[in-house]
Amino acid sequence: MDIVPQYTFIPLACKNYFNINDKKTQNLFNKWGLKGNIILQHFSFNEPFHSYHKYQFAEAFFKSSIVAQNLLTKKGNSWTKQGIIASTVEVEQIPCSVTNMSFFNKLQNPDNGIINISGVICKRYDNEINNFLVSDKLREMLLDEESDHYGLYTEDERKEFIFCIFQMLVLGGILCQYEDTLEPYLDTTKRIYKDLIRVQKRKHLDDLSVSTTVLKVTAEDNKKQAYFPSNDPFNIQNIGFLLIDGNLREVTTFLHQFGGYCD
């Protein structure tokens, strides 16, 4: 009989992410309206982790008094320690299998209609979809389910963690200055992904695999109000993840809240 682990958590000091904290990345965050709206925190845990324990793990994490005392969530325009212990936690395991940027080759092929032959993102007439202004083929591919370009990536591919990061960057925040080319989005996606996930070589094989387990989560308080992420959890830019490193027994919270500048 499998014994369900009794997870406990200890807060850890902030990591110095080389790529995320880089001046170039931070300047782009500012340009895209993301600056101050992304927060990362780190905790260690005591028991071995296996993916089939994901529900118990997430439940234990958000119902931990230690986590509640230390977890930063958005209240108004500030990140604060609200001390909330979750009443319910929704969990979805997100695939995280991509190990190189060839995943985005389809976007870089002019034959697919996202960019033109000179590398510039193709424009289109303005339209509002899911409260986002869609004025080019890249955002059309992300948001317009009626578009032929939407099918460029399958539903399974769209669930990949690297695709989630890419979409977050492209759609941006309230005050977002869009790019004319793919390169800034792809380069920043690569840099963030490299900082957040652990890749290892599989035994007896030459290829690489991702060892990080990614959980997309929504935690609610006792009034059934979502707080991780908070505000409107149905805004696709309000996203919260647990990134679990079973080898180090560490978990990272990755939270983005759609909005203007946040202190």
3-state secondary structure of 111: helix
124 and 92 co-located in one domain: no
Model confidence, pTM: 0.94
251 and 219 co-located in one domain: yes
202, part of any domain: no
191 and 127 co-located in one domain: yes
78, part of any domain: yes
157 and 37 co-located in one domain: no
pLDDT (tens digit per residue) in 12-31: 999 999 999 999 999 999 99
pLDDT above 70: residue 1? no
For residue 86, the enclosing domain spans 9-97+208-256
111 and 74 co-located in one domain: no
From the number of C-beta atoms within 10 Å of its C-beta (0-12, 13-18, 19+), residue 102 rates as: exposed
Measured CA to CA, the distance from residue 5 to residue 8 in angstroms comes to 9
Contact of 67 with 9, CB cutoff 8 Å: yes
50 and 112 co-located in one domain: no
Contact of 229 with 75, CB cutoff 8 Å: no
Q: Which residues contact residue 38 at a Cβ distance below 8 angstroms, ignoring those fewer than 6 apart?
A: 29, 254, 255, 256
Confidence band (pLDDT; 50, 70, 90) for 203?
low
18 and 139 co-located in one domain: no
3, part of any domain: no
261, part of any domain: no
123 and 189 co-located in one domain: yes
pLDDT (tens digit per residue) in 63-99: 999 999 999 999 888 899 999 999 999 999 999 999 9
Place of tokens 């690297």: 162
Q: Which residues contact residue 242 at a Cβ distance below 8 angstroms, ignoring those fewer than 6 apart?
A: 57, 58, 61, 214, 215, 217, 251, 252, 253, 254
* Domain final residue, candidates 167, 196, 225: 196
2, part of any domain: no
77 and 108 co-located in one domain: no
213 and 91 co-located in one domain: yes
